Structure 1
Amino acid sequence: MHSEVGDNEKPKGKTPDFLVKYANGSSEYIEVHWSKKVDEEYRDKIEHFSNYSASKGQSKIRIVTELGLTPFIRVNYQLIADCMSQELSFSIEDCELPEHITLNELIETLSNYTETHIEEAYYLIAIGYYEFDMASLLRCDTALKKVS
């Protein structure tokens, strides 16, 4: 995905920072930017790019600034990104994962299905299979809830 508004109104020259894929099948591109550099012109450009992306059957784009990220949220995103596997080595349908579980319990449960249970626990959080209070630091005793 690469875009900037050109003369013919077709976006070109802009690449969002990353794509988030959620457990419910939806996805969105995230553009992280410093709030002091996000003006109305920039928002319009991203909105145009987002609409163009959606018209081509791709994900829309959302701007996120540092104002929307508390220190814990930034740390959590970094931890998840650094620790997660790139894919699951087992099928989620093959195991019975509970609605509510702590991160530690999830890691222990996944150890019955895979050798990379820690990385795959983070992966399940990263794809939105489980969610938690992002305003709190993700720890072993953090309560996770399955996303329906």
Structure 2
Amino acid sequence: MKITVNGTEHEVDVADDMPLLWVLRDELGYTGVKYGCGIAQCGACTVHLDGQAARACQVPAASADGSEVTTIEGLGTPEAMHAVQAAWVEHQVAQCGYCQSGQIMAAAAFLDLNPEPTDDDIDLVMSANLCRCGTYPRIRAAVKTAAQKLQGA
């Protein structure tokens, strides 16, 4: 299987049904992708697969062959954070932090599709990613701030 992750092409020999999550974490070392539930219910494993948010725990390796994947490690850097990452820091969203890479990846993909979201839009989309610490008000505020930054405001 050939896969491009964060701009780097990789070739891995894995079973066709191995979840992309394990390809990324165990085979390629991208540990920013988290295992949460394994059944696509929590969102901790969210990555961008060919530009779309995807739950890596449910994507078979064979389905990702030839694809481009972006993980949290490829979204931005500490020196040049993506607007969503910067907003997360600004609003101090993370508490335990476990779900945050999936939250950030979901928010970034969402803002690509809806650059001017309402509170209801944000709540609807982001409710698909679970946060046991309950930082949902901060998540909404950070997504709103990131939307403004991405719009140049």
Tell me the TM-score normalised to structure 2 length. Answer: 0.28
Higher strand share: 1
Tell me the TM-score normalised to structure 1 length. Answer: 0.29
* Structure ID, larger Rg: 1
Larger relative contact order (CA 8 Å, sep ≥ 6): 2
